Amino acid sequence: MDEFKQAQQLYDQQALCYAEQANANKNLLETRKLVYRLLTPVTNKKILSIGCGDGTECVSFSKNGAEVVGIDSSSEFISLAKNKYSELGMDFLVMDYAETSFENMTFDGIISIMSIMYKEDLTTVLLELKRILKPDGTMIVVVPHPIRKMIKYANFDYFASGLHYETWEEVTRYNYYRTLEEYFRLIKASGLNIEKLLEQKPQLDEPYQVTNNVSEHLYPHSLIFVLQAA
Ligand SMILES: C[S@@+](CC[C@H](N)C(=O)[O-])C[C@H]1O[C@@H](n2cnc3c(N)ncnc32)[C@H](O)[C@@H]1O
């Protein structure tokens, strides 16, 4: 089965439960705020969210005057997004982010929150996104911080990049794990410029969690790449 269909199957089964978990997760809510701030002002800008889930991450953009398109592999997520946010006039479509149907240089901003890790060939994805980003556009890519694997799994080999299965909030999902060096190399090779790299701090108003004797609040939650086409 190709990777798009695999992601579709996975998230069609878990759409409702994932959306519920994601929309209540303080770290992820903070990620969305950060991503929004990194792209402001957004008025009259055309913004694409890839792997948009139930569309909640698109709301602040739309409410602040952006024209928003959200794409996702899961038709369940796309129906959910259309139903939930019909009054905001956003466009939600089932589409593969590695092979979109958008014209060259369509978007002022592209966001990817925890969604780019479902393809082994990241270069093809980055080149496609670069193609549809305007030359002065900005792309924000958020991935789980690689250090989180070391927290969750005792003796995890930092350099063991590739396909991994992972349980988050008691549900198992797969994704391609990559080291920081790999992300850097693949992004540079695609011709995108790395404008900023942020390490998102965990939210400290949550009860501190200790996993494998490691206090999670001492480590970053995600890596946020701010990329530019030229
Ligand atoms: C971990 S979820 C993140 C959802 C949302 N961005 C959030 O943070 O709540 C990953 C999303 O990427 C989508 N996805 C995975 N592969 C995809 C692909 N090839 N094209 C479009 N969406 C994809 C999945 O369907 C899923 O909605």
Which residues have any ligand 1 atom within 6 Å of their CB? 4, 7, 11, 22, 28, 50-53, 57, 71-74, 77, 96-98, 113-115, 118
CA distance linking residue 91 with residue 115, whole number of Å:
18
Phi, psi of 142 (to 5 degrees): -110, 130
pTM: 0.95
Residue owning the nearest CA to atom 17 of ligand 1: 73
Q: How confident is the model at residue 152 (pLDDT cuts 50, 70, 90)?
A: confident
Model confidence over 170-206: pLDDT tens digits? Answer: 778 889 999 999 999 999 999 999 999 999 988 766 6
- Cβ(59)–Cβ(86) under 8 Å? no
79-100 tens-digit pLDDT: 999 999 999 999 999 999 999 9
Identify the band that residue 208 occupies on the pLDDT scale cut at 50, 70 and 90: low
Amino acid (one-letter) located at 173: R
pLDDT tens figures, 13-63: 999 999 999 999 888 999 999 999 999 999 999 999 999 999 999 999 999
Query: Do 149 and 158 contact (CB within 8 A), yes or no?
Result: yes
Total H helices, total E strands in the chain: 7, 11
Average pLDDT of every residue of the chain = 93
The topology (CATH level 3) of 3-228 is: Rossmann fold (3.40.50)
Q: Check: CB of residue 69 under 8 Å from CB of residue 51.
A: no
Chain mean position to CA 94 = 16
SS3 68: strand
